[in-house]
Structure 1
Amino acid sequence: MDDALTIHNRADFGLWAIEAAKQIDGEQRFDLAKAARDGTAGELRDAGNALGQAITNALLGVYDGLLDSAEDE
């Protein structure tokens, strides 16, 4: 999700969130499923933490973009 996106309203943000979730799920799904099936508790925790970190990074990226836009105005 490196492409620039302009969010004008709540609906735009909702669409972005859906697309971001799809991308994050696609990137993290295998590791989490494998850890749940075959891994230790530590591996499952690490995979879950990686998923949480990916979500956090995506949300902070949008927040930073909103701050940058506010400073430009």
Structure 2
Amino acid sequence: MTDTINIASRGDFGLWAIEVAKQIVSEQGFELARAAKDGAEDDIRVAGNALGQAITNALMEVYDGLLEGPVER
């Protein structure tokens, strides 16, 4: 995520979460689906781990923002 947003309400957080989820699924979900269709078990594991890591990174980013406040870019 490169844009700074202001989350001032539960609704703002919901919109942020939806947008981040769409981005993660479009990037990482496709790779997981492709690995499941064409890949070996190791490929599926790698793609699944990448999806999990992308979710973790997004959650940690918003958590850090709550603790530290917005980061100027």
Structure-1-length-normalised TM-score: 0.88
User: 1:6 maps to what in 2?
Assistant: 6
Task: Using CA pairs under 8 Å that are at least 6 residues apart, name the structure with larger relative contact order, 1 or 2.
Answer: 2
Identical columns (%): 65
For structure 1, the residue ranges without an aligned partner over 5 or more in a row are none
Output the CA distance in 2 between the equivalents of 1:46 and 1:36.
Answer: 11
Structure showing the higher helix proportion among its residues? 1
* CA deviation profile, 1:32-66 (whole Å, cap 9, x unmatched): 11110011111101101100000000010000011
Aligned length: 69
SS at match of 1:7: coil
Output the CA distance in 1 between the equivalents of 2:56 and 2:26.
Answer: 16
Structure-2-length-normalised TM-score: 0.88
For structure 2, the residue ranges without an aligned partner over 5 or more in a row are none
Where does structure 1 differ by over 4 angstroms across 4 or more consecutive aligned residues? none
